[in-house]
Structure 1
Amino acid sequence: MKILTVLLTATSAAVALGVPLANAQSNSLTVAWYGGNWGEAFQACVAAPFTAQTGITVVADIGTSTTTLAKLQQQASAPTIDVAYLDGGISELAQAAGVLAPIDLETLPNSKNLLKEAAYRDSDAVFAVSGGYYSLGLTYRTDEINEAPTSWEELWNEDHVGAVTIPSPSNSAGVPFIFFLNRMLGGAPTDVSETFERLSQLDAGLFFDSSGAASNAFQSGEVTIGAHFNVGAWALADSGVPVTFVVPQEGVWATDARLHLIKGGPNPAGAAQFLDTAMSAEAAACLAEKLYLGPAITGVDLTPEVNRKLPWGEKGSVSDLNLSDWNEVNGRRAEITERWNREVAR
């Protein structure tokens, strides 16, 4: 009965996506996702259960969001990828590039539990669904700082001169983090002058281009406080590095890892079923336990230990996250990066 249900769901999705029934089933599916512990978690939490349910083998295409988008654009006429995980921001660029297929949520049973804000639309068409949220909050070494910081203003504390880190515009969080700081400092949306003046006064030990570089800097002691992702910070803490992650009183900047169907992908029916598996409570709970991703669906039961490490902190929820207007960020990315290079990265 379970196999029959899966086949009927896949066939329904195939019809909704305009796929001939003769081609609705295939024994493999190519999914683009990130490397490292992210890819390992996607394999364990989504791909393995999907294969167990459907018999379809998942082939991982590992890369960053930007490299995946470049590949999708290069392969637009004959894509080899069926499903792609892309970060917020790159997701909007992929939709604008015309490489994504619409997602018919009505054919996916688990979508009934999807948070309203976790379905991304272009006009009336859904082009992405969230696979889980992560945030950029304050991280610090507990062997160097005794009292937990409560504000982002702590970055400018003279006690931390030369030992602070924040993302550079080369990191996906860099430009939106500047917009976040600008709101925090009371700047007008179109005027980031005060924010750049403050950033130019920041005596940083590292402007990190990758989350791995930030983790290495905290691990080595090169930096003692700064902005870091809850995923990376808690991974360090779990491995025994004396660091912890806090949600400051001004909140945290956040985004999510999103799933997309690829236009013209080889196995659209299997791809739709993969998205359905990714929206299950079991997958969301598994990703929360392995990566501390905040679930994008309702009805996920987690332990207090996992709950406190989610992107919104122990007592928060997705409504507490500061999520970016990616169209604004992408539209001003070049301008902000040029100003950063001129005024901050001197």
Structure 2
Amino acid sequence: MANRIGTLTAAVLCAAGLLGAAGAQAQQKPQRITVAWYGGNWGEAFNACVAQPYTQATGIAVVPEIGTSTTTLAKLQQQKSSPTIDVAWMDGGISELAEQAGVLETLDPARLKNLGNVIDQAVYKKDGAAYAVGSGYYSLGLTYNTKEVPEPPTSWKDLWRPDYAGAIAIPSPSNSAGVPFVFFMSRVWAVDPSNMGPVYQKLAALDAALLFDSSGAATNAFQSGEAIIGAHFNVGAWDLIDKGLPIGFAVPREGVWATDARLHLVKNSPNRQAAEAFIDTALTPQAAQCLAERLYLGPAVKDVTVPPETARKLPWGENGSVANLSLFDWNVINARRAEITDAWNREVAGKR
């Protein structure tokens, strides 16, 4: 790890342009910035791949604010006039809501030198101005206990098999995957998304052990055996597999959907320059490679090479790319987020 951080630090010093800071500027720089990120292995990777190299390069400490994307957005809205968070990682979908809420600062390519390293699809804009940048893609597939489920599941409909009753995990709308999961299930069951009633009936009939609010809760459920099959991110599933647990990850015949973890500069941050340097650090090829190797995030940074063992665990597979992913139109989903969340609470969670 020390060698990895040292390599990343050198890259950060060069790529983020921090070697030539003037003495007066150095005296004025903040002692710390606050970065919102996810818990568990996500936070550990963000710390190792981005925060530690950033701190070694700049001398600025990074204080994590751990929470889900929806929790982070709520905090940003509460702190809108005087934020305590400088940079925020949030998922696709919640990212668009944050832009609409007016809590994000524009990402200026003149101030973020490494924004040009990122593929066009991962720079998110409104009216021509960038408000978010992707730091890596991940997918939601079927995760299962290989001792309890010896044959890899081939369909999402397998969740409704009687022998899995009481041991299933699926995301709730409190998780960024929850609302799109409902849309995805409408595809699986060939239901017209304009009328989700049949999907809610199917989900209400599912004997689930856990409607998880965070990916960490899902990981814990599979690790403890509370869940033996269910929806989980490739990031969490492969983390368990790498630890030697009897876990498998399958891409069913109906496919999987994907999104990305995005970085945002918080509006009215008192530490804008330091926050931008943190985002620049995350957009180096070295940081993207580190995140790919630790989280199996599909890199959004151009020309990142990873070993074959890592490549096969990325959301698009060893020889794929972002073009192979099934990505949602988050504006369509967000337009119905409140409606679907309310229906879920009444017709799915309320019947348990």
TM-score (norm. length: structure 2) = 0.86
Residue type of the partner of 1:340?
W
Q: 1:63 aligns with which of 64, 67, 70?
A: 67
* 1:199 equivalenced with 2:210 (yes/no): no
Distance 1:190 1:55 in 2: 53
Note closer, same or farther for the CA distance 1:106–1:62 as it changes in structure 2 (3 Å cut). same
Structure 1 position 198, deviation (Å): 2.8
Q: 2:152 aligns with which of 114, 135, 148?
A: 148
Residue 6 of structure 1 aligns to a residue in which SS? coil
Residue 287 of structure 2 aligns to a residue in which SS? helix
Structure 1 position 27, deviation (Å): 4.5
Q: Which residue of 1 aligns with 2:112?
A: 108
Q: 1:125 aligns with which of 113, 129, 138?
A: 129
Note closer, same or farther for the CA distance 1:10–1:184 as it changes in structure 2 (3 Å cut). farther
Q: Which residue of 2 aligns with 1:77?
A: 81
Residue type of the partner of 1:56?
I
Note closer, same or farther for the CA distance 1:5–1:308 as it changes in structure 2 (3 Å cut). closer
Note closer, same or farther for the CA distance 1:281–1:159 as it changes in structure 2 (3 Å cut). same
Structure 1 position 106, deviation (Å): 4.4
* 1:281 equivalenced with 2:285 (yes/no): yes
- Tell which deviates more after alignment, 21-30 or 228-237: 21-30
Q: 1:299 aligns with which of 292, 300, 303?
A: 303
Q: Which residue of 1 aligns with 2:17?
A: 6
Note closer, same or farther for the CA distance 1:212–1:77 as it changes in structure 2 (3 Å cut). closer
Note closer, same or farther for the CA distance 1:233–1:7 as it changes in structure 2 (3 Å cut). closer
Distance 1:153 1:188 in 2: 17
Where does structure 2 lack aligned partners over 5 or more consecutive residues? 1-9
Q: 1:335 aligns with which of 335, 339, 343?
A: 339
Do 1:81 and 1:266's aligned partners in 2 also have CA atoms closer than 8 Å? no
Q: Deviations over 1:136-158 (max 9, x none)?
A: 10111111222222221222233
Do 1:247 and 1:312's aligned partners in 2 also have CA atoms closer than 8 Å? no
Q: 1:211 aligns with which of 197, 204, 215?
A: 215
- Tell which deviates more after alignment, 329-338 or 124-133: 329-338
Distance 1:337 1:274 in 2: 34
Residue 105 of structure 1 aligns to a residue in which SS? coil
Do 1:46 and 1:278's aligned partners in 2 also have CA atoms closer than 8 Å? yes
* 1:252 equivalenced with 2:230 (yes/no): no
Q: Which residue of 2 aligns with 1:243?
A: 247
Q: Which residue of 2 aligns with 1:172?
A: 176
Q: Which residue of 2 aligns with 1:311?
A: 315
Residue type of the partner of 1:166?
I
Structure 1 position 306, deviation (Å): 1.4
Residue 133 of structure 2 aligns to a residue in which SS? strand
Residue 195 of structure 1 aligns to a residue in which SS? helix
Residue type of the partner of 2:297?
L
Q: Deviations over 1:47-80 (max 9, x none)?
A: 1222233333323333332332233223322223
Matches within 5 A, 1:14-93: 25-93=29-97
Structure 1 position 219, deviation (Å): 2.2
Distance 1:131 1:218 in 2: 26
Residue type of the partner of 1:40?
E
Q: Deviations over 1:281-319 (max 9, x none)?
A: 110111111122221122111112212222234444322
Q: Which residue of 2 aligns with 1:320?
A: 324
Distance 1:115 1:74 in 2: 32
Residue type of the partner of 2:276?
A
- Tell which deviates more after alignment, 281-290 or 83-92: 83-92
Where does structure 1 lack aligned partners over 5 or more consecutive residues? 12-20
CA RMSD of superposed structures (Å):
2.7
Q: Which residue of 1 aligns with 2:102?
A: 98
Distance 1:76 1:98 in 2: 8
Residue type of the partner of 2:17?
V
Q: Percent identity?
A: 61
Residue type of the partner of 1:6?
G
Note closer, same or farther for the CA distance 1:9–1:329 as it changes in structure 2 (3 Å cut). farther
Do 1:9 and 1:107's aligned partners in 2 also have CA atoms closer than 8 Å? no
Do 2:39 and 2:216's aligned partners in 1 also have CA atoms closer than 8 Å? no
Q: Deviations over 1:262-283 (max 9, x none)?
A: 1121221222222111111110
Distance 1:276 1:50 in 2: 9
Residue type of the partner of 1:115?
I
